Structure 1
């Protein structure tokens, strides 16, 4: 039976009442010098549905002996290793847990869970107990989250034109289909992260797939006017990243500059107005200069003709 002095999980002689027998006091004092130590518990924080994961419990016995090593999911035992029992390895049915028994006898401190489902998510605890008469118990807990990645894998970029003019508005969507939980989506332009007001986050849509699992579809939209700073060697690099609990999936594409000589409509309009005004002034000047020059020339010719006729023919 486990011995506990006071409320501490590890007995301490200072909490033992003075009326206890000398033997019990000695047992309490022994626990201060020898015991079992749980050095590390390995449980993946995130796993993909349908895959297998390994759980590992690393401990040090010091001068003690191992009585049992147990694994729990949400406080329900599903694995026990007792070296002095027959059989020494026992598994128990637990919702969402399928233990792979092939490697258990070679590595009893390592347990493999296969064919993970969403029900495999939970709080896993490794508990190590030392031999009698103390039965000292140590444990550590880790959280496992099983996710469904985006389908078919990377997020999908849509509604982006393959080419774009300078100063046009770049628009498009990024969609992550049927994941669990809903993916967080992020837009990048030339490796620079973009957010509001140029990025719109739409409400995620929940549905139930053919196998009865809850899955989510997430969508974000991008809208930004491009200028010279957006183009790198004549192209814009668009990237969308979907992330779920630290796991990431990325899709990217290039959008090329359609016309390097393209001018902003405002600049083009101003330039055309300037050119039109210049042509109007030139035509206006020409249209008035030509008649003035012609009339003066006619009057000059008539005057010369009149003057010469009077000189050579005074009778006129």
Structure 2
């Protein structure tokens, strides 16, 4: 019985000591995390902005910390000197920072290069109002992102000074991928096709990373088996490591593919990145028409026929013209 009471008092003592540290963001008082702004998809060609907004609720700020996959890479402690500490983490390259004249604010310099050389004596640019840490929010930027090493779970953690020692945090998963900047480009499609023609088209995507895959749709459906679609081919990486993708399609110009009174066919090229499903597909749609043998007669032929017919056969010409127009429609 004595051992049980001793264990009980030990558990109660631990709870009393630990309780001030266990705080939820929406408890209604003291330190609260208002918003964490981190995109779920980041383009390696652009800086990645991470931002946390919070309210101290009358408490004193101890620190703001940023983590990637539970590894701390940035710490802001306004009551310490230096106020900022950074830690090396794979795939994380912070935009250089310079101290400001304000005691509780740290601003970020616009002056950096691809070699990560810090320009601490540079002039702070127009982004000064958005890029800083204070007692109400902390915004940082990452540069030189890579898909493999910079993707991951980014966490913002804010803590207050004693006696409460509150801790609040939020986490967002970030995927780094180079999104195609333009729609895919279709070449080789003619304005008009006739019986016996071959539809021979190519489609190329805008550079991306991971590479795109190319597919074709005819009137919203996959091409018929009578056609041949090549495998997607990838180009050599460009200076940014991005790859363009291309594919070709050859298919007989069959009358059944051209629909409606105008005998039109819609060809659509679809470029998508299966490895990153949150990137929507990119489409390019073009329309072509089909003309049967009776439409080969040119306007010049009609004019010559009408001229040679004379007034005596004008009514025959009119009937022939009406028949011709009806065939074009039906």
Q: Is TM > 0.5 for Structure 1 vs Structure 2?
A: yes
Look up the SS of the partner of 1:227 in the other structure.
helix
Aligned residues: 246
- Mapping of residues 45-60 of structure 1, within 5 Å: 45-60=40-55
Q: Give 1:219's aligned residue.
A: 247
Runs (5+) with no aligned partner, structure 1: 1-15, 264-316
For structure 2, the 5+ residue unaligned runs are: 1-6, 96-107, 110-127, 297-330
Aligned residue for 2:71?
76
TM-score, normalised by the number of residues in structure 1: 0.59
Which of 132, 148, 152 is the aligned partner of 1:105? Answer: 132
For 2:12 and 2:257, the matched residues in 1 are separated by 87
Q: 1: CA distance between counterparts of 2:53 and 2:71?
A: 21
When residues 230 and 25 of structure 1 are mapped into structure 2, their CA distance, relative to the original with a 3 A threshold, is same
Check the 8 A contact 1:58/1:109 in 2, yes or no. Answer: yes
User: CA 1:57–1:258 in 2, change beyond 3 Å: closer, same or farther?
Assistant: same
Pick the aligned partner of 2:286 from 215, 236, 253: 253
Could you say if the C-alpha distance between residues 207 and 262 of structure 1 is closer, same or farther in structure 2, counting changes exceeding 3 Å?
closer
Q: Distance in 1 between matches of 2:218 and 2:196?
A: 15
Structure 2 Cα separation of the partners of residues 105 and 30 of structure 1: 27
TM-score normalised over the length of structure 2:
0.57
Task: Find out whether 1:155 has 2:184 as its counterpart.
Answer: yes
State the distance in 2 between where 1:199 and 1:187 align. Answer: 11
Q: 1:242 matched to which residue of 2? A: 271
Q: Greater CA radius of gyration, 1 or 2?
A: 1
- Partner residue, 1:4: none
In the TM superposition, what whole-angstrom CA distance separates every residue of 1:24-49 from its partner, at most 9, and x where no partner exists?
72873795765544344322122222
Match of 1:132 among 157, 162, 167: 162
- Tell me the CA shift for residue 110 of structure 1: 1.7
- C-alpha distance in 2, partners of 1:99/1:147? 19
Distance 2:261 2:142 in 1: 48
Partner of 2:304: none
Q: CA RMSD in A?
A: 4.0
Does 2:176 match 1:146?
Answer: yes
Residue matched to 1:270:
none
Q: Give yes or no for the alignment of 1:179 onto 2:208.
A: yes
In 2, Cα distance between equivalents of 1:232 and 1:78: 65
Task: Give the direction of change, closer, same or farther, for the CA distance of 1:247–1:56 in structure 2 (3 Å limit).
Answer: farther
Task: Compare the two structures and name the one with the higher strand fraction.
Answer: 1
Q: Give the secondary-structure state (helix, strand or coil) at the position aligned to 1:51.
A: coil
**CA displacement at 1:193 relative to structure 2:** 4.7
Determine the C-alpha separation between the residues in 2 that align with 1:112 and 1:70: 14
Secondary structure in structure 2 of the residue aligned to 1:179: coil
